[in-house]
Each structure stands twice: as C-alpha cells, then as structure tokens.
C-alpha cells in the first residue's frame, strides 16, 4: 500500500504542466458550460463547451487535452486541443470546444466523457465528466392500425397494431394494452401483448380479437391503447394512444311517397316516408324539400326527424302547388350524423301525374266516385214528389 502511495505522489509531482516547483503547483479544473444539442441525443454529433480554470498557485506549462475514445463518446478530429501556448497563469480561464459522436446505442441518463490532461512530460491524468444523453421516448409509435370501420353489436373483429422504433437504440419489454373498462367491448383471451425487443427499422405487429356486447348501443367508443416499455438503461417509459370503435354499422336512408292527394296540377298534400334500411343509427336527422320549376312548397320546406335507429321509419308532410302536368320529381336532401360525422344524402322522389281522361279511365276521378250517389238522391226526390202529388189527388 505504501508503494502505491509513493508512486502516486511521484506521478503528481512529475506532472509537468500541472506542477511547477516544490511548494507551488497548478490545478486545472474543468467545467462543462453548455452542450449542443441539450441534452445530447443518441446517434448524433455533439459540441461541448468546457471552461478550464487554473485554481493552483503556479502557472500550468503548455497543458494539452485529449478526448478519450470511451463508450458512448467517440472523439472527432476537433477533440484534441491546447488551452494556451506557453501556459495558463494562476486564476486564468479558457473556454474550449470539443466535438464527439454519441453512439446510437447510448443508454438514457448520465454517461461519462473522459478527457486526458497532458503537460510537457509524458505523464497524464484522466478526468471524468458526466453528460446526460437522452433517447427519444416518443420515437416508439403506432405506425399503423387496422380495424373495421364499423362493427355490429354481438359480433367480433380483429385489430392489428404495427409498432415502429424511430430511435437509434433498442427498446425492451414492450407491453401493448387495450383498456376496455366501462365499455361494451371485451378482448378475447388477453388485453395485453408483449414484444421482448424492438430495434430501429424493424416494425413489429401485435393483434387482438375484440368482442362487442349484444346489447351495445350504436355509438362511437374511445378505446385507449397504452404502450409501456424500457430503454437500454432500464428506464420505464410509456406512450398512450386512442382509437375509436364505431358500433352499429352504417345507416342507409331512403325516401318514398307514403300518401298523396296530388294527381293533377294544382294544390295538394304530399306525405313522404323516410326509412333507415341500414344497420347503424342516424342521429339529428333532418329532411329538406328543395323547390323546383315543377312545384312550390306552401308549408315548411324543412322537417326535423331526430334519431332513427336501424329499421326505423318516420313521415314528413308537405303542402305543394304543382305546376307540372307529367311526372312530378321531388328533390329531397336528408342530413344526419353517424359515427364518422355529418352526412348528406340526396334523393329524387317521383310521383306520376294524370290527365282528366286518364283519371276517368282508371276510376281515379273524384267526380265519378260521387255520381251514383247523386243519381240515387235524385231518384228518391222524384219518387217523393210523385207520391205527394198522387196523395193530393185522392183527397
């Protein structure tokens, strides 16, 4: 032990650049002022500004410095430098810049930069400087997600997620979890899948089977996706994404004539039947009847219907004055909202019009329908008059 102490004392006493004479010595302290970038990024070049201060009581003769090649820092040709030709006086300071390449597999957190201090002789001292290196915890992303646009209640569907590592270092113990609590959704077998390791430019895919409750309402459900993982230093990281599950399928709105007393040009009432033939709900449904040269709308031209579930229907009545004497075309616009947002559907409803001769031929003329009744009434009146006159003569 004594021999080791003696050798160490001789080493410091003979360090020319740091020791001038017995009883007087230099002491060069190193301090990192700033770095670029901040913090240092794995896989990138970094510039480091260091302040050297002589806190000793003697001049430091021709001090030189060299960055040691030590993981994760590799020196460049700008990493060897001399503080000042001739020396650095007591209390004097110098700012220097070195450049290193940070290894792409650097671990998250503090890493050690080694700098070798050398004087006029061959002896040297290595100083260790802690520098923070960061791997981008946002570089683990959901690159793609495949899932049906709509899923019916009581059915199942497969969801696949592809994860991509945009960083230059590997991630480990990656757990992908689906949070289905308080929702009509359940994952079959498991709600968590694990990837042991994920390197850069090597995407990985995980899959889930999702079951929808039979009594689930038609709606858009938010499905949170949580990804917990570790970097190479063992630091715990987490990313949360959210996707949507549209339950109930797509609505399919159709419009037809329910009833009408309009058979010829003129004024009348048209009742339309609005039907949801699809499997999804149409919310905030509204029907608009656009005017044209064939007719005028005498009533309100827009009627609010509200929500229409699958296989539901409602009616809307309009008062019209018809100018056309042939086929009547009614341009209808239906506005509604489904899981994908506001939707618009345009439909043309047709109503056949007739001439007077066609009405008579088909028995649709209203005057023809009352003629028998009028003839009966006239017969009754005539019979009554005959009976009254005969009774009068007998008297």
Measure the CA–CA gap between 259 and 367, rounded to whole angstroms: 20
Q: Are 169 and 232 in contact (CB under 8 A)?
A: yes
| Residue-level pLDDT at 86 | 67
Q: Are 41 and 60 in contact (CB under 8 A)?
A: no
- Complete edge-to-edge strand list for the sheet that includes strand 64-67: 40-41, 124-134, 109-118, 64-67, 80-82
| Residue-level pLDDT at 79 | 65
| Residue-level pLDDT at 372 | 58
Ranked by mean pLDDT, the top range of 84-93, 185-194, 335-344, 368-377 is 185-194
Identify the residue with better confidence: 219 or 148: 148
Q: For the chain, give the longest Cα–Cα distance.
A: 173
Identify the residue with better confidence: 167 or 392: 167
pLDDT per residue over 53-69, tens digit each?
Answer: 988 888 888 888 888 99
| Residue-level pLDDT at 381 | 75
Q: Flag whether the pTM goes above 0.75.
A: no
Measure the CA–CA gap between 34 and 19, rounded to whole angstroms: 29
Q: Which pLDDT band holds residue 325 (cuts at 50, 70, 90)?
A: confident
pLDDT at 186 over 90: yes
The H or E element that residue 20 is part of is strand 19-21
| Residue-level pLDDT at 17 | 43
| Residue-level pLDDT at 275 | 95
pLDDT at 158 over 50: yes
The H or E element that residue 369 is part of is helix 366-394
pLDDT per residue over 24-52, tens digit each?
Answer: 777 888 899 988 887 888 888 999 999 98
Q: Are 15 and 123 in contact (CB under 8 A)?
A: yes
pLDDT at 395 over 70: no
* Percentage of the chain modeled with pLDDT above 70: 81
Tell me what the pLDDT averaged over the chain comes to. Answer: 81
Measure the CA–CA gap between 113 and 131, rounded to whole angstroms: 7
Distances (CA, A) of 108 to 40, 103, 157, 229, 365: 10, 12, 39, 13, 90
Measure the CA–CA gap between 257 and 349, rounded to whole angstroms: 7
Q: 112-121, 295-304, 312-321, 385-394 — which is least confidently predicted?
A: 385-394
| Residue-level pLDDT at 7 | 32
Tell me what the mean pLDDT of segment 246-266 comes to.
86
| Residue-level pLDDT at 10 | 34
Beta bridge partners of 297: 320
Domains and CATH numbers, the chain: 2-134 (2.60.40.10), 140-247 (2.60.40.10), 253-351 (2.60.40.10)
């Amino acid at each position: 032990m004594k021999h080791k102490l003696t050798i160490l004392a001789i080493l410091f006493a003979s360090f020319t650049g740091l020791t001038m004479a017995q009883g007087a010595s230099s002491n060069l302290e190193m301090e990192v002022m700033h770095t670029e970038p901040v913090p240092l990024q794995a896989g990138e070049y970094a510039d480091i500004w260091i302040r050297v201060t002589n806190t000793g009581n003697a001049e430091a003769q021709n001090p030189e410095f060299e960055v040691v090649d030590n993981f994760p820092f590799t020196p460049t040709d700008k990493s060897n430098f001399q503080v000042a030709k001739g020396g650095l006086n007591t209390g004097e300071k110098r700012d220097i810049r070195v450049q290193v390449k940070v290894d792409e597999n650097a671990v998250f957190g503090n890493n050690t930069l080694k700098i070798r201090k050398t004087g006029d002789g061959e002896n040297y001292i290595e100083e260790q400087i802690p520098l923070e290196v960061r791997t981008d915890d946002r570089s683990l992303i959901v690159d793609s997600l495949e899932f049906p646009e709509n899923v019916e209640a009581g059915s199942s569907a497969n969801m696949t997620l592809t994860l991509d590592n945009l960083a230059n270092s590997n991630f480990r113990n990656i757990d992908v979890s689906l949070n289905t609590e308080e929702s009509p959704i359940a994952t079959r077998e498991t709600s968590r899948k694990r990837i042991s390791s994920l390197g850069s430019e090597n995407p990985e895919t995980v899959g889930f089977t999702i079951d929808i409750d039979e009594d689930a309402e038609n709606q858009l459900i938010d499905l949170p996706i949580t990804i917990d993982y570790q970097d190479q230093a063992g630091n715990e990281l987490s990313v949360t994404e959210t996707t949507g599950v549209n339950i109930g399928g797509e609505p399919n709105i159709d419009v037809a004539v329910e009833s009408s007393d309009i058979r010829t040009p003129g004024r009348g009432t048209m009742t339309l039947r609005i039907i949801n033939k699809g499997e999804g709900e149409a919310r905030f449904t509204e029907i608009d009847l656009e005017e044209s040269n064939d007719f005028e709308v005498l009533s309100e031209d827009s009627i609010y219907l509200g929500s229409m579930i699958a296989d539901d229907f409602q009616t809307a009545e309009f008062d019209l004055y018809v100018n056309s004497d042939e086929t009547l075309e009614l341009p209808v616009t239906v506005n509604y909202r489904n899981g994908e947002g506001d939707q618009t559907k345009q439909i043309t409803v047709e109503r056949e019009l007739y001439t007077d001769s066609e009405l008579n031929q088909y028995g649709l003329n209203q005057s023809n329908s009352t003629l028998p009744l009028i003839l009966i009434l006239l017969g009754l009146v005539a019979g009554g008059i005959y009976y009254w006159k005969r009774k009068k003569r007998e008297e």
